[in-house]
């Protein structure tokens, strides 16, 4: 297989409820401590021999220079697959064959030591990849320039904002000389310009430098623009592999059912604050509704839960609204409106957000939630809630539907 970058044969991954041997050392230690201190729940004991298959019989092959987009609903097994490919965990069954060094960026701060500076972490990451010091030095200036954190390169990364973390982490993964780059959708936490910059870099890595890229994203537009092949996963099984437009079409067709928030296990962040509910309120009639129409005065209630944690007034609660292809349409954030939020220290509370005369065009959208404070991500949940906009009276009478492909917003205009 001279031109083969990665070949997977019958890869499966299972977990035993209530048992040690999760595949990662930290989880195994955590499970053993829980066992010693009798912290197993009755449910765990009853189901201790039950197997959960995160992946089941995954096989595909990628050539050098190909870019693979991995898509699927939340809980489909995307992140598990990337962890296996990155050697963070091992498969239960199957074999992986590959050529070349792998650089991976699975979540914010992966492979970074919080007490070390940005400069020291660049060299640490390079050493983990098996690179010599002179190789890292050769790319150092380019990494720092791409990341845009020159002023803070000698500051411990624990003081970085989440955006700075992502910029430096991606710059390191993309510029160190690995043959295979694996990226989970950490880019959504960055600003739009940096996302565009990252996608451009991944494109040049794949098409220009002949390196292989594996990319997990909910943004179908990015998958379509960047990738030469797509892998569609559903409940750990392989639903399709190959043509990108075909795989995206199948994904959108089958992506109607959303997992309830209390059952979501794909959250990112430290979990000190979580979004546990989202309601849409008709501001006129003060009732919960799923019938949202163009021009409606809407209140979004975001229910949050904090656990033994004192939050400062630097709390950020953001809602990103994306279209069906996963393209970000707009962002609602108290950082944009420059409002300080002071929630309860512990327990549950509801944060209300008022939107006047909602201008979204008819169609289906999804809301991604993001909660952080002082640069620390507490809860980040992609596709936390669906939102469907129906036609109604944006201009005081029945609104005409925008022509297909002509935008996502109505403006409050009139001809004079």
- Please state, in angstroms and rounded to a whole number, the distance separating the CA atoms of residues 118 and 123: 9
- Please state, in angstroms and rounded to a whole number, the distance separating the CA atoms of residues 332 and 371: 12
Equal fold, 4-254 vs 261-390: no
Domain ranges of the chain: 4-254, 261-390
Q: Are strands 67-72 and 273-282 parallel, antiparallel or unpaired?
A: unpaired
Domain 4-254 maps to which CATH number in 3.40.50.10240, 3.40.50.150, 3.40.50.300, 3.40.50.720?
Answer: 3.40.50.300
- Percentage of the chain modeled with pLDDT above 90: 27
Closest CA to 317 of 303, 307, 329, 328: 303
Long-range contact pairs involving 141-150 (C-beta distance under 8 Å, separation at least 24): 142/175, 143/168, 143/171, 143/172, 143/175, 143/176, 144/118, 144/171, 146/171, 146/174, 146/175, 146/197, 146/201, 147/118, 147/171, 147/172, 148/194, 149/118
- Percentage of the chain modeled with pLDDT above 70: 83
Higher pLDDT, 54 or 129: 54
Helix ranges, 178-299 (H):
192-203, 220-226, 244-254
- What's the pLDDT tens digit per position in 156-190? 988 887 778 888 888 887 887 788 888 887 666 66
- What's the pLDDT tens digit per position in 23-59? 555 555 655 565 555 554 444 444 455 778 889 999 9
CATH number at 261-390: 2.70.50.60
Non-local CB neighbours of 183 within 8 Å, separated by 6+ positions: 104, 105, 170, 173, 202, 213, 214, 215, 216
| Beta bridge mates, 408 | none
- Please state, in angstroms and rounded to a whole number, the distance separating the CA atoms of residues 97 and 107: 24
């Amino acid at each position: 297989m001279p031109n083969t970058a990665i070949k997977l044969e019958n890869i499966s991954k299972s977990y035993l409820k209530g048992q040690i041997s999760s595949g990662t050392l930290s989880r195994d230690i955590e499970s053993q401590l829980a066992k010693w201190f009798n912290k197993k729940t009755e449910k765990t004991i009853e189901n201790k021999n039950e197997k959960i298959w995160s992946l089941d019989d995954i096989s595909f092959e990628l050539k050098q220079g190909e870019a693979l987009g991995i898509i699927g609903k939340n809980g489909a097994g995307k992140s598990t697959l990337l962890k296996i490919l990155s050697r963070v965990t091992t498969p239960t069954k199957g074999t992986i064959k590959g050529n070349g060094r792998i650089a991976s960026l699975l979540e914010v701060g992966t492979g970074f030591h919080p007490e070390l500076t940005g400069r020291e972490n660049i060299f640490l990451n390079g050493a983990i990849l098996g690179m010599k010091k002179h190789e890292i030095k050769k790319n150092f200036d380019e990494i720092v320039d791409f990341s845009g954190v020159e002023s803070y390169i000698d500051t411990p990364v624990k003081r970085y904002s989440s955006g700075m973390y992502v910029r430096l982490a991606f710059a390191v993964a993309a510029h160190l000389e690995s043959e295979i780059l694996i990226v989970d959708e950490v880019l959504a936490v960055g600003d739009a310009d940096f996302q565009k910059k990252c996608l451009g870099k991944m494109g040049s890595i794949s098409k220009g430098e002949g390196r292989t890229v594996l990319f997990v994203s909910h943004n179908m537009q990015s998958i379509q623009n960047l990738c030469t092949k797509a892998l569609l996963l559903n409940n750990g099984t392989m639903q399709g592999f190959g043509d990108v437009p075909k795989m995206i079409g199948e994904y959108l067709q089958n992506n109607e059912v959303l997992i309830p928030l209390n059952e979501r296990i794909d959250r990112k962040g430290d979990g000190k604050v979580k979004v546990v509910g989202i309601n849409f309120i008709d501001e006129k009639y003060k009732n919960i509704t799923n019938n949202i129409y163009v021009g409606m005065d809407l209140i979004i209630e975001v229910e949050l839960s904090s656990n033994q944690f004192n939050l400062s007034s630097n709390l950020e609660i953001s809602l990103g609204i994306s279209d069906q292809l996963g393209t970000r349409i707009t962002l609602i954030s108290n950082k944009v409106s420059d409002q300080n939020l002071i929630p309860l220290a512990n327990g549950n509370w509801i944060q209300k957000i008022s939107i006047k005369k909602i201008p979204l065009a008819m169609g289906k959208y999804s809301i991604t939630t993001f909660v952080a404070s002082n640069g620390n991500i507490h809860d980040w949940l992609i596709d936390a809630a669906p939102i469907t906009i129906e036609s109604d009276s944006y201009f005081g009478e029945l609104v005409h539907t925008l022509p297909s492909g002509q935008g996502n917003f109505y403006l409050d205009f009139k001809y004079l």
